[in-house]
Amino acid sequence: MQIACLQPRILDDRSKCYSHIKELMNGLISNHPYLDFVILPERWVPFNSQMEKNFQKERSDDYLFVKSLAKEYKINIISGAIWEFRKNKPDQRFITCYYFNDKGREIGRQEKIHLYTYESKYFEPGDTLKIFKYNEFYFAILICFDMAFYETPRLAAENGADILFSPTQIREDGMDNWKIYLQARALENRIPLAASNTLGSIFDRNFLGNSQIISFNEGPMTPSRLKQIQGPIAKSGYVTDVIDLHFPRKLRKIRLNEKIHKEKIKVMTLE
């Protein structure tokens, strides 16, 4: 599977952000015409100080823009995170990532399950982890903070996911922790992942991009050897890689069979 993490800079106007993403897509597709997936970061539009102005109606402007990208460039796109209301739940808001196929059709969506700090004040958490199919492979979408808890990536791996896509918004002082999380999740589940990080400034917080694609070098089954490709730091662009998903399947089968379920482990406290 050939994938790319797109890393657009957040500009001061939504329409400028749309144009900037199209410019990056033009360069990406001209250099890599056979991509399977493009992953957008968690946030790629400006943040309004009036909180209510950051929310959109369900399947509104940002949704329609990404949908049109997938259709125009004939490529599968993971939308990043869109802040939206639900038509059938007008009093509730969700952080939602959409999966569009290369015909611009919505295949499904994933709501953010683990809400980060202030998000729990404004949003409802998702309660379902979805596994999507693409050709012979399966993937899950873990939005940023969902990757910080081992349960969600493990659930994805145990239920057949071959790769994890993670639209992410990690600020500068959290980058070191984030990279450790990504490596740990890949290793403990023997699963490749692609994490596209936000680039730009939101109030006093800086986001450096440096998106990550982590997979495995084929070779000895143990120890497993990570292959890590990093995107540009503090500038717009993209990072791509071609990932063999068959070899990690072998690694993952071994790793999951080695796990001893916690119900079978006794805990003894000594005083």
Quote the tokens at residue 73: 């460039």
Alpha-carbon distance 172 to 209, whole Å?
9
Q: What is the pLDDT of residues 168-208, one digit of tens each?
A: 999 999 999 999 999 999 999 999 999 999 999 988 899 99
pLDDT at 203: 83
Mean pLDDT, residues 11-32: 97
Nearest alpha-carbon partner for 43 in 102, 107, 116 = 116
Alpha-carbon distance 147 to 169, whole Å?
12
CATH superfamily label, 2-264? Carbon-nitrogen hydrolase (3.60.110.10)
Asked if residues 170 and 207 have their Cβ atoms less than 8 Å apart, the reply is yes
Give me the helices (H) in 104-263, please: 119-122, 151-158, 175-189, 246-258
Cα dihedral sign for 232, 238, 243, 249? positive
Q: What is the pLDDT of residues 39-72, one digit of tens each?
A: 999 999 999 988 989 999 999 999 999 999 999 9
Q: Is the pTM of this model over 0.85?
A: yes
Asked if residues 247 and 221 have their Cβ atoms less than 8 Å apart, the reply is no
